[in-house]
Amino acid sequence: MDRRLVLNAQLAIAQDHRLEVTEHVDADSGESVVLAVVDLDTGIRYRRAEEPSGETSRWLGRVLDCTVTIGGHGPHTVIAVAVEGPGGAGAKVALRGADAAAEAAKAEADRWGGADRIPEPPAEREW
């Protein structure tokens, strides 16, 4: 599974370099926030100035593409990463989304299946 990281910083990481990404899942929005990126081939660490709070997850990947944009609304970097192994925070977000989808499907099935209506009494049979 490929992931796309959009960061408000200039990170020039060469294609095919291995990365270790540390993420934190925001409890309110459910979105993952990148806390640190480590280029395992060069040993360079990029991290946020603030300290992480709460549960973090780490995952490994290989850089497919890296685009650094300068100027405009400020510098930012877009990195396409091929995830190696479990996807870390992305898996947690996907499970949360799958649970919400399952609940919505159950509610829709109940609505269309008539589970919310009182059943009619059976008609009397004459022999």
- Using pLDDT thresholds of 50, 70 and 90, give the confidence band for residue 99: confident
DSSP label of 100: H
User: Structure pTM?
Assistant: 0.63
In-domain check, residue 121: no
Are 63 and 81 within 8 A, CB to CB? yes
Residue 19 CA to residue 27 CA, distance in Å, equals 25
* Number of domains, the chain: 1
In-domain check, residue 122: no
In-domain check, residue 100: yes
In-domain check, residue 57: yes
Q: What was the pLDDT predicted at 108?
A: 79
Structural domain range at position 67: 2-113
In the chain, % of residues over pLDDT 70: 83
In-domain check, residue 124: no
In-domain check, residue 119: no
- Using pLDDT thresholds of 50, 70 and 90, give the confidence band for residue 60: very high
Over residues 24-59, the pLDDT tens digits come to: 877 777 677 889 999 999 999 999 887 777 778 888
Which has the closest alpha carbon to 5: 72, 55, 49, 67? 67
Q: What was the pLDDT predicted at 106?
A: 81
In-domain check, residue 58: yes
Q: What was the pLDDT predicted at 38?
A: 94
In-domain check, residue 127: no
Q: What was the pLDDT predicted at 81?
A: 93
- Using pLDDT thresholds of 50, 70 and 90, give the confidence band for residue 15: very high
Residue 48 CA to residue 125 CA, distance in Å, equals 76
